[in-house]
Structure 1
Amino acid sequence: MINNTNNNSIDVMKFICAILVVIIHAPPLLSYNETANFIIVDIIARIAVPFFFVCAGYFFFNKIPIKNGRMERSNNFKPLTKYTGHLIRIYIFWTIFYLLWWVPLWYKGGNLTIANLKGYILSIFISGSYFHLWYVVALVYGIIFTFLLLKYLKVKLIIVIAVVFYLIGTFQYSYNWVVKENYFFDWFHNIYGLFGSISLGIFRAFPYLIMGLVFAKYRVKITIPISSILSVLSLVMVGVEVWLLKTSGHSSRFSYVLLTGVTTFFIFNTVSQIKLKYNSVYPNLRRMSSIIYFVHPILINVISVIYTYIFNYKDSAILFITVSVFTILFSLGSIKLSQNKRFSRLNSIY
């Protein structure tokens, strides 16, 4: 169990992970060196979203009473409905936000049709209303799935289930080439893809949420020095695994590989044990990380258009720096505005 009275280091790491997500979508070294860009984007930055999932599990299940390895039966659904309600409000806001961007583009391209609107509405519930919002959808389904399991099963059994589901999800994502022309696997692959973020919530979010629960409720006896070394070593091994997958030619998807979970475990263990003296900047970093995650895609689009069509210039490093600066400024402005009573509802955007 980790002392949760000081989570400032986690707030700092969440901010770093938000910037890593920006790196994934606006690769800074793309214009300069393909190998260096691959290392940053497809190896280092890929720990960001798993870390977010672990944080979600850690903070949510810290509030859930667990006794003798089982969630107390007297515990009602209030914590679940409160948390999922918060996530849904965030999702609705950013769905509307990005819809205002999409509709003029659909109209201009002649794609504003009933069929496309039906597909979009369906995607809101299954895959995400915009490409990065899959995370919120997966988190909602994942937290519900995890909570329901805890209502009826012991934590130790759920940990085993989470590991099995993690392996299945990783196999389906990065190692599906191992099994060819297998009826059962083809059927599973199709079903997995059909349900989009629902599948991701169960096979991707759920294992990391359980990892967060483990840190919240149990003592992980790995000291900071050892955990730091293991974090670096496991990240290097992720690089080796990803490189082998890339050079084999069998897979071009590296976001979630077998050792991603191991690396995330050691990084979270290391970060969560570092105690930083309180400063008001840390809660703001936590809020900023959420806003940066949600707003950065539209800024990438807008700034790319400005650089390409107005200045006839596009450099990946300049794009990344510009997007990062504007997302940080936007997040700071949003937080400052939300502290005004008239705009307090802006809290719902993060």
Structure 2
Amino acid sequence: MKAKRLLPQSADAFPANHRFNGIDLVKFICAYMVCSIHIEPINIGAGDPWYFTTINFWIQQYFCRLAVPFFFVTSGFLLFRKIDLSDPDKGRIKGYCMKLLRLYGTWAFLLFIGMTGHLWYLGALVLSVIIIYMLLKKRVSLTWLVVIAVIAFIIGLLGDNYYDITVALRNNTVIDYIAAFYERVFRTTRNGVFFGLIYVMIGILFAHKRIVMKTWVAVLGFVASLALLGVEMYLLKHHMHMRNYNMAIMHLPVIFFLFYLALHLNLKDRPIYGTLRVAGMLIFFLHRLVLFFVQYAFLVIYNHTELNLYDYVYPVTIIATTALAFLIPYLAKKPGCRWLRYLYS
């Protein structure tokens, strides 16, 4: 009998020891998408054609912006699937948050000043988890948690992709004062309240609600919502002033269907998926540090030989980062190198 491409049951019915190999695979791919946001896939010089800029835009701001929301949903799902929402385990929540903060501190120490920008995700995830935990302890229902997360997301949109609407509303003195104060203190709505909360909640819904659909429905839903996201980004880019590209309305259905597909993907258990899980995490943490040294090395080469290797920054950085991401876990198994585990666990 031919194996089904997607597992037919809802994720809340999966056994506690089920391995989500599809999630590990997609997260690994998403790690490279994060790299591509921070490193231009096509290095553009003064004489390059205009369409290189367009290609970079659609790679970085359309396709690759799906990565971090997927990380949030995955984290919410994996953490809360083993937690009773009516009586959340404080110890498990605390241990999870402390692990994230330890990783944040470790990599903030290892990375140079100004290279830790991508670590915002860890802090935002901690904040999202704490907010949800506190609301659950206050007996806030799952329905109201979703409502709160949606409202927060709408506010976040006004500080990011839909910033033009915020500007229009600033004719109101009170709104102008609140918005100006927030921007001065926090700078962006890309955080655990307005950005992360909704995606962590989607992960919780997958963990505790029966969500199941036919394969063709999931695929069609993903393709259609991805196409509509492209339309949304085109209209925003050409007809509105966007403060950033982090938050779009169509991100929500795209991520919903993408996570469903990854979650239910029927892949046989193999050690490679565990390897990809760790490697993907290290690619996320390492790439900006590797980028710094690649750019510095190319600058030294240029100063001594006038050989311009700038066009190769992206592939060299990706290759070097990937090599280190697989090498570090291998070395961590060796006596005397077990401390390397603190970089990813």
Instruction: Please report the TM-score for the alignment, with normalisation by the length of structure 2.
Output: 0.86
Quote the residue 1:190 is aligned against: 180
Contact 1:227 1:270 in 2 (8 A): yes
- Within 5 A, what are the aligned runs for 1:153-302? 153-179=140-166, 180=168, 181=170, 182-193=172-183, 194-195=185-186, 200-251=191-242, 253-302=244-293
Q: Does 1:330 align with 2:324?
A: yes
Identify unmatched segments of 5+ residues in structure 2.
Answer: 1-9
Counterpart selection for 1:146 from 119, 123, 132: 132
Counterpart residue type for residue 263 of structure 1: V
Shift of 1:198: 8.8
**Structure-2 residue corresponding to 1:11:** 24
> Residue 222 and residue 131 in structure 1: after superposition, are their counterparts in 2 closer, same or farther (change >3 A)?
same
**Cα offset, 1:339, TM superposition:** 2.1
Shift of 1:199: 6.8
Contact 1:6 1:276 (C-alpha < 8 Å) held by counterparts: no
Shift of the 156–247 alpha-carbon distance from structure 1 to 2, 3 Å rule, reads same
Closer, same or farther in 2 for the Cα pair 1:309/1:240, shift >3 Å?
A: farther
1:13-44 superposed Cα distances (whole Å, 9 cap, x missing partner):
00000000111111212436122221111100
- Distance in 1 (CA, whole Å) between partners of 2:158 and 2:103 is 31
Supply the distance in 2 between the matched residues of 1:166 and 1:252 (Cα, whole angstroms): 15
RMSD value, Cα: 2.0
SS in 1 for 2:337: helix
- Secondary structure of the residue aligned to 1:342 is coil
Given that 1:137 and 1:198 are in contact with CA atoms closer than 8 Å, whether structure 2 keeps it comes out as no
Match of 2:298?
307
Retained in 1: the 8 A contact 2:100–2:126?
Answer: yes
In structure 2, relative to structure 1, the CA distance for the partners of 1:30 and 1:232 (3 Å cut) is farther
> 2:188, 2:105 → 1: CA distance?
16
Q: Which of 88-97 and 252-261 deviates more?
A: 252-261
Q: AA paired with 1:79?
A: R
CA distance in 2, matches of 1:55, 1:191: 33
Q: Which amino acid aligns with 1:132?
A: H
**Is 1:36 the counterpart of 2:55 in the alignment?**
yes
C-alpha change, 1:283 and 1:343, in structure 2 (3 Å) is same
CA contact (8 A) 2:42 2:314 kept: no
- In the superposition, relative to structure 1, how do residues 204 and 263 fare at CA in structure 2: closer, same or farther (>3 Å)? same
* 1:155 positional shift: 0.9
The answer as to whether partners of 2:72 and 2:199 remain within 8 angstroms in 1 is yes
Supply the distance in 1 between the matched residues of 2:337 and 2:225 (Cα, whole angstroms).
44
Residue aligning to 2:6: none
Q: Which has the higher helix share?
A: 1
1:264-284 deviation line (CA, Å, top 9, x unaligned): 111101111102101111011
Conserved? CA contact 1:137–1:197, under 8 Å: no
Q: CA deviation at 1:332?
A: 1.0
CA distance in 2, matches of 1:183, 1:339: 60
**Inter-CA distance 263–192: structure 2 relative to 1 (3 Å threshold):** farther
Whether 1:52 and 2:71 are equivalent positions in the alignment is: yes
Supply the distance in 2 between the matched residues of 1:172 and 1:198 (Cα, whole angstroms).
Answer: 6
* Cα offsets for 1:300-340 (capped at 9, x unmatched): 12112222441442444x22211111111111111112223
Q: Report if the CA contact (8 A) 2:283-2:325 is conserved.
A: yes
The one-letter code of the counterpart of 1:189 is: A
Farther off after superposition, 332-341 or 176-185: 176-185
Distance 1:274 1:21 in 2: 23
Q: Does the CA-based 8 Å contact 2:28-2:280 persist in structure 1?
A: yes
Counterpart-to-counterpart distance in 2, 1:344 and 1:305: 30
TM-superposition CA deviations, 1:207-226 (whole Å, max 9, x none): 11111101111121222321
Match of 1:349 in 2: 343
Residues 49-58 or 31-40, more deviating: 31-40
Q: CA deviation at 1:197?
A: 7.7
Give the drift of 1:246: 0.9
